[in-house]
Structure 1
């Protein structure tokens, strides 16, 4: 198939691109590199630099079979301070994409959504039927796209899938042995920041709040290996239903507190990770843990790397290799 991957220079988008290429598909990556990195785009993919808003009509032509849409800003905390930035990029950009999909007659779209749309859930693990209470503009913008996809499926027969996933970690090993991992700048995610502290790149790690209603007072999150997550995108692509918008949660069903994650990083790296407690971040739910039963049942998805130490170890291997490569340039 010929596939368009928006945001394919980012962490998850680049891993999905690599898996699509390894599966024999032809892939075009569209990314403006505002948060992605051209070096992350796997060899073999055609790269078009630009914003979805501006160039999608020229890029998406009728010979494409499907779109996988990752292009978005993802920092929930920043979205509270700069909501217009998130509404424009995440929602308006997605609506422009849907216009182009309709015009080109492309009938399949897989959307990178987020479990953050559930806010503070009534119970965990969270099923897809749980009430949505987006706690910040980032989550609200993603939920708005979910609604737009549902309307597009009903009105125009689009086959659409939204994958709502939780915290993503680890590094993907390609067939040639190369590692693909997380390289956000600035980094906002717990595991890579903790690894930077372990490597001496940062003095300490700030824990945002220790007064949540959890066992140790810090937020609890479900973690999913990036390779397992990417596999779910390929499965979704192969099981799409015209005129239907389907939603799947993806996670391991196990929650880890921020303090537990830091302890795993210490164990894996053998290094101290000094921490300091700071104030809560606006829009952070206390507990997010997924129920992935629907994805397992309907997509045939099963996480192959569910253990948090394995995710941290893979991320540590990538971080060490990326640091070495950076020094030799």
Structure 2
């Protein structure tokens, strides 16, 4: 019996792989290493494979049979919003095509449990400040659309052949569980600020005239290690005999931090001057987006343990352990 982690060499996936290994699980990772790194998977078996490729279903079925896979955790996806707008057909081919191959392989081998990396992007720009799983899903870009379609596919497979599944809608993931597993990409606020500081430049704030206490956007930041534990809680729930009455779960803290508060926290953790330049607003940024985490707490008995200070401190330690150490 083993767990197949697709995209397990990436930022979030590597944290889940490490937690699974720590509790003695047999883990096999499938990753194309386009954004991940082989050294991140530790003692897990690594199979280099693009799940959106032409022969992916057959290769996945072989892995599932040979390794006695009983659960799949699916992280692999392209996730840059701007890129998805510029290349929508490619995003659908990668994210939806890849998921279709995985689900077909699961059906063909009788593997019935899947945890799917979804996203708060499925909500788009909701007309509420605190988002529940019942909030209307109206994604505003192809990336968010692929995540919502992915949830639909899982629900369809549940009806067709009995898939047991959970979709975790991530909010703003940051931090590091271990310094060597920091976020390697410069796509989100915390690494973007650290990247600019490493280049001797000021951080940027896109808009300081929003209807929030300090004028900057407010988001719900979740520690990547808390998020990883949420995956294990979901996997254990699927593996039990529990009736699955809920399938999608917000993964957040229920509290928000503004862009300026995050930048100030980076200054406190690093001791650096984080005076920011204010730029015009970016199109499509809602003033506030916070998760209601009640459902995941009630159903999966999970809640976040780390606050913003922990997130930023761990992100700073991970940055300083990497190749672009500051100072």
TM-score after normalising by structure 2: 0.91
Structure 1 position 324, deviation (Å): 7.0
Structure 1 position 243, deviation (Å): 7.3
CA distance in 1, matches of 2:299, 2:282: 36
1:180-229 CA-to-partner distances (Å, cap 9, x unmatched) read 21111xx111111212334x335122323334343333221100111110
CA distance in 2, matches of 1:140, 1:209: 26
Matches within 5 A, 1:15-34: 15-34=15-34
Matches within 5 A, 1:196-235: 196-198=195-197, 200-235=198-233
| 1:188 matched residue in structure 2 | 187
CA distance in 1, matches of 2:246, 2:106: 15
1:116-160 CA-to-partner distances (Å, cap 9, x unmatched) read 111222323211111111011111110000011111111110000
The SS at the match of 2:130 is coil
CA distance in 2, matches of 1:280, 1:95: 37
Matching of residue 96 in structure 1 with residue 101 in structure 2 = yes
Matching of residue 139 in structure 1 with residue 138 in structure 2 = no
| 2:125 matched residue in structure 1 | 120
| 1:109 matched residue in structure 2 | 114
Q: Unpaired segments of 5 or more residues in structure 2?
A: none
Matches within 5 A, 1:243-254: 246-254=247-255
Residues 81, 216 of structure 1: alpha-carbon distance in 2 compared, 3 angstrom cutoff: farther
* Contact 2:125 2:284 (8 Å CA) reproduced: no
The SS at the match of 1:266 is helix
CA distance in 2, matches of 1:45, 1:253: 33
| 1:267 matched residue in structure 2 | 268
| 2:258 matched residue in structure 1 | 257
Residues 204, 56 of structure 1: alpha-carbon distance in 2 compared, 3 angstrom cutoff: farther
TM-score after normalising by structure 1: 0.90
The SS at the match of 1:216 is coil
CA distance in 2, matches of 1:182, 1:295: 25
CA distance in 1, matches of 2:230, 2:143: 22
CA distance in 2, matches of 1:94, 1:142: 10
